[in-house]
């Protein structure tokens, strides 16, 4: 499946759009490495394929901590053996044997932390996740034990690796903005991101595996001094393939700053794609319509803005 993951950082979002295949689990709450055996996930990037494998021999006993009576009326004494697992073939036998007694990860963690009311685990051996990387020629280049105890953490660990290795490359980007007023939230940002992401996947001709995302919570009169300023700086420095935004009004509420954007794009190999218009700002919109048509600003509002100064970005 194509999986898109994002994470918030001080500079906004980073996002990956890579092909991830995960071993089907009947119940998604079984994520701990105890439940797995053999290859459990494959993550394909432009450089090759990462494979996550559960290794080892799960060997453990489930023991009663106290006397109790089962729902079927069976009397269990403290110290009784409830279930035994020895998975020599890495086939996920722990889940097959223990699911009758341990419902999910939360209950498993209670047992491992000695907080469960009825059960304790006497563990001889346990699984671990290993990560192998195969290059585009199918040759293995990397093989090592992972730190993660859950499959979700292991996948995220790989995605972090992919991002760190490629984050300085020339990438497609997304810019989103909401006014910094009550009632607008991260849901609005997510909706803009999803709309732009869909458009990138439909229209982009370059690598869409990693996507850089900028967002602002501010008026369109101020965003040139914030994340959008960084987005423009990256366009000027040739770090962006194209920048996507849902609407031209997200870029600025100041006509004079739109002229500044035009000057930046004129000297750049990149352009800004407006999803709702299905057109580029410089190649299409600036050549078709004069800038003020996009706005309903009064002369008074324009006069209240400071004169255009050279913008400095962090």
**pLDDT digits 0-9 by tens, 30-65:** 999 999 999 999 998 888 999 999 999 999 999 999
3-class DSSP assignment, residue 53? strand
**pLDDT-wise least confident of 113-117, 244-248, 305-309:** 305-309
Tokens of 65: 């901590």
Establish if 118 belongs to a structural domain: yes
Domain C-terminal end among 105, 124, 143: 124
pLDDT: which is higher, 114 or 1 = 114
Tell me: do 193 and 248 sit in the same domain: yes
Residues 271 and 177 in one domain: yes
- DSSP labels for 141-210? EEEEE-S-SBHHHHHHHHHHHHHHHHTTS-EEEEEEEE-SSTT--HHHHHHHHHHHHHHHHHH--S--SE
Co-location of 205 and 278 in the same domain: yes
Residue 40 lies in a domain: no
pLDDT value for 306: 37
Find the domain containing 238 and state its range.
171-304
**Partner residues linked to 114 by β-bridges:** none
Q: Which of 13-22, 142-151, 167-176, 246-255 has the highest mean pLDDT?
A: 142-151
pLDDT at 10 > cutoff 50: no
Q: Confirm whether 11 is domain-assigned.
A: no
Q: Tens digits of per-residue pLDDT, 161-187?
A: 888 888 788 999 999 998 865 555 778
Share of the chain above pLDDT 70, in %: 84
277 occurs within a structural domain: yes
- Cβ(285)–Cβ(252) under 8 Å? no
What pLDDT sits at residue 151?
Answer: 92
Residue 229 placed within a domain: yes
- The verdict on 179 and 75 lying in the same domain is no
Provide the number of structural domains found in the chain: 2
């Amino acid at each position: 499946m194509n999986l898109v993951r994002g994470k918030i950082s001080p500079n906004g979002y980073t996002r990956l759009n890579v092909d991830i295949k995960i071993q089907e689990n009947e119940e998604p709450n079984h994520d701990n490495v105890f439940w797995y055996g053999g290859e459990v996930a494959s993550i394909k990037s432009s450089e090759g394929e990462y494979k996550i494998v559960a290794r080892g021999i799960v060997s453990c006993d489930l023991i009663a901590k106290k006397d109790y009576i089962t729902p079927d009326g069976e009397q269990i004494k403290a110290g009784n053996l409830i279930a035994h697992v020895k998975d020599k073939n890495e086939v996920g036998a722990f889940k097959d044997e223990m699911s009758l007694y341990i419902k999910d990860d939360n209950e498993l963690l209670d047992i491992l932390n000695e907080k469960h009311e009825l059960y304790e685990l006497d563990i001889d051996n346990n699984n671990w996740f290993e990560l192998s990387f195969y290059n585009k020629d199918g040759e293995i280049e990397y093989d090592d034990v992972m730190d993660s105890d859950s499959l979700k953490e292991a996948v995220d660990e790989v995605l972090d690796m992919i991002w760190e290795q490629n984050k300085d490359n020339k990438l497609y980007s997304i810019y989103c903005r909401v006014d910094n007023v009550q009632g607008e939230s991260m849901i609005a940002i997510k909706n803009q991101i999803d709309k732009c992401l869909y458009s990138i996947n439909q229209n982009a001709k370059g690598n869409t595996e990693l996507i850089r995302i900028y967002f602002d919570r501010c008026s369109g009169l101020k965003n040139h001094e914030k994340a959008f300023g960084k987005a423009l700086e990256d366009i000027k420095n040739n770090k962006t393939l194209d920048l996507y935004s849902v609407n031209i009004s997200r870029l600025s509420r100041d006509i004079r700053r739109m002229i500044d954007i035009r000057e930046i794009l004129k000297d750049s190999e990149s352009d800004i794609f407006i999803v709702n218009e299905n057109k580029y700002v410089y190649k299409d919109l600036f050549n078709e319509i004069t800038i003020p048509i996009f706005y309903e600003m009064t002369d008074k509002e324009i006069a209240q803005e400071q004169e255009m100064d050279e913008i400095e970005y962090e």
